[in-house]
A and B are shown apart, each in its own frame.
Chain A
Amino acid sequence: MKLRVYDADPDRVERIRARCLARLEARRSGGRAGARHASGWRRRLEPALAVGLGALYLADANIRALAACADR
């Protein structure tokens, strides 16, 4: 079934193109900013998490040692 190809009004075609490209650019720059934002958070969060996990591990080891002493 061969149908004739029509197109939208040339002004409208350009308006749609401009709107989509602007959105694409906004998403791209937003994505870059988001990545920078996330990496900043990660830089601060990772050492805090490491310290927190280390403290939990030590506390757990102490509790186990005390429990072992109490059993004896």
Chain B
Amino acid sequence: MEREIELRLVARLKAGDSAAFEAIYEAYRPRLFGFLARLSRRRDVAEDLLEETWLRLVARASELTDDTRLGPWLFTVARNLFASWCRHRALDDDRISDLVVSWHRPGESPFEATARGETERRLEAALARLPSRDREILLLVGGEELTPAEAAVGLGLAPEAVRKRLQRARERLAREMHEEADEPREKAG
């Protein structure tokens, strides 16, 4: 979203403009849902957290500063809600990765389903196996293209710590993807 448009939307949302809310909702909803679904690995949880994230935006709209960056604001709230949910449910990484997510795509033909990229499948599988600390930073910086400084605010870390964590997470992801690629060959051999 262009910065100028974003600033105007923030000003209108602060004034309670419902059209501004609609525009922000359309722009960020699928990205936020994807982020939450990949973090939680559960569609129902992702939808609940998605709803709570948007309700927070509406509740705090009047308190937003004029230069608020909507993406980082929304992803920070979503990430914090997910962290609260984990604490509440006392879920650890092992239990989360055991949960099955159903990626039902309405309107997708069998051909489209088959044609889905192999790289994408491996990436999703490798992401799902990562600890949630690594997954969240990769999703924020790699997936949602937040800068390390913006992600640092959301994660409550120093930018330098975010860069280091990001570097480690990328290495782990690469390792996971190589292992995923090697497994079928080993099975075949």
- Given contacts A3-B143, A9-B43, A20-B57, could you give 14 more A-B pairs where the C-beta distance is less than 8 Å? A3-B139, A4-B34, A5-B30, A6-B103, A8-B33, A8-B43, A9-B47, A13-B29, A16-B25, A16-B54, A19-B51, A21-B22, A23-B55, A31-B16
Number of interface residues of A (CB under 8 A): 24
- Across the interface, which residues of B come within 8 angstroms of A20, CB to CB? 21, 25, 54-55, 57-58
Across the A-B interface, give the 6 residue pairs with the lowest CB-CB distance, nearest first. A1-B142, A28-B16, A7-B30, A23-B58, A16-B51, A5-B30
User: Measured between alpha carbons, how far is A31 from B57 in the docked complex, in Å?
Assistant: 17
Which of A6, A12, A17 meets B25, CB within 8 Å? A17
- Across the interface, which residues of A come within 8 angstroms of B30, CB to CB? 5-7
Taking beta carbons and an 8 Å cutoff, which residues of A are in contact with B?
Answer: 1-10, 12-13, 15-17, 19-21, 23-25, 27-28, 31
B69 → chain A closest CB, angstroms: 20
Q: Does B62 contact A (CB under 8 A)?
A: yes
Indicate if the CB atoms of A1 and B143 lie closer than 8 Å. Answer: yes
Q: Which residue of A lies closest to B37 (CB)?
A: A6
- Bin the interface of chain B by size: 20 to 34
User: Measured between alpha carbons, how far is A13 from B47 in the docked complex, in Å?
Assistant: 9
B141 → chain A closest CB, angstroms: 9
- Across the interface, which residues of A come within 8 angstroms of B123, CB to CB? 1, 3
User: Measured between alpha carbons, how far is A23 from B13 in the docked complex, in Å?
Assistant: 12
Indicate if the CB atoms of B16 and A27 lie closer than 8 Å. Answer: yes
- Across the interface, which residues of A come within 8 angstroms of B55, CB to CB? 19-20, 23
Which of B18, B22, B46 meets A8, CB within 8 Å? B46
B142 → chain A closest CB, angstroms: 4
User: Measured between alpha carbons, how far is A25 from B58 in the docked complex, in Å?
Assistant: 10
User: Measured between alpha carbons, how far is A27 from B63 in the docked complex, in Å?
Assistant: 12
Indicate if the CB atoms of A12 and B51 lie closer than 8 Å. Answer: yes
* B 106-140 contacts with A by CB, 8 A: 106, 120, 123-124, 138-139
**12 examples of A-B residue contacts, CB within 8 angstroms:** A3-B143, A6-B34, A6-B37, A6-B103, A12-B50, A16-B29, A16-B51, A20-B57, A21-B18, A23-B55, A23-B59, A27-B59
- Across the interface, which residues of B come within 8 angstroms of A9, CB to CB? 43, 47
B144 → chain A closest CB, angstroms: 9
Q: Which residue of B lies closest to A13 (CB)?
A: B29
Q: Does B61 contact A (CB under 8 A)?
A: yes
